[in-house]
Structure 1
């Protein structure tokens, strides 16, 4: 009887710990419904019926080049966060709650970069394209 009681108490404690970790965003639950993506060398296209969580997409560029990230974001509901990062720092971040187009330009210091996509109960999609300033 005591073993069953201690097992139940242990289970309740573990569930409470996970609930606290999820609440304070130490653990994030990712859900993707109707999530489709296509990635090529310098392009990324996403579409989703429902997206909650985050994902990373990786790109390689030559060092010392001026690169422009152009984006076309569609937000039907919720919120989408885009980030352009190198390995050490955040280069750019924007939060979208409505359809938006734009671009951001930066000088590449490294070869490897990532785009972090975070959805907060969002529906929609986005298109991202990198272009080298001299190749437009």
Structure 2
């Protein structure tokens, strides 16, 4: 009996350490709603802690413009735009902000990582695809 309790405590301590050092990530979503179309992503959440990936396809050799509108009522939200091999753009939001970035496409598939740290709010991302370099 005592050995079972000690074993359980040791397992819980190991689990707590792995969560603390982000080896294991716990994702929690409350009131999390998303709508994704070909070149747009809309998110709203009452509480979001964790991360999610959303994927988009573009033609190679085009210029894409990512326009974002982030509302942070509490916590922190981080957005990342990645291609297959590298991070293209990343920003951490602790307050409401709008903006845009442009990049040249070298691949077809791109991902947007949305990471929340006890955040509440919404996020709107929209892509525009243009010919050639800007």
Query: Do these two structures clear the TM 0.5 threshold for a shared fold by scoring above it?
Result: yes
Displacement of 1:7: 2.2
Distance 1:126 1:110 in 2: 25
Count of aligned pairs between the two proteins: 131
Q: Which residue of 2 is the match for residue 107 of structure 1?
A: 104
The two structures have a TM-score, normalised by structure 2, of: 0.94
Displacement of 1:10: 1.8
Larger Rg: 1
Q: Which residue of 2 is the match for residue 53 of structure 1?
A: 50
Matched, 1:40 2:37: yes
Matched, 1:74 2:79: no
Distance 2:120 2:80 in 1: 18
The two structures have a TM-score, normalised by structure 1, of: 0.93
The within-5 A match list for 1:1-136 is: 4-134=1-131
Aligned-residue CA RMSD in angstroms? 0.9
Displacement of 1:88: 1.4
Displacement of 1:132: 1.0
Distance 1:9 1:87 in 2: 45
Displacement of 1:62: 0.8
Distance 1:133 1:70 in 2: 14
Distance 2:46 2:118 in 1: 10
Flag structure 2 segments of 5+ consecutive residues without an equivalent: none
1:44-100 per-residue CA deviation (whole Å, 9 max, x = no partner) reads 000011111110001111111110110000011111100001121110000001110
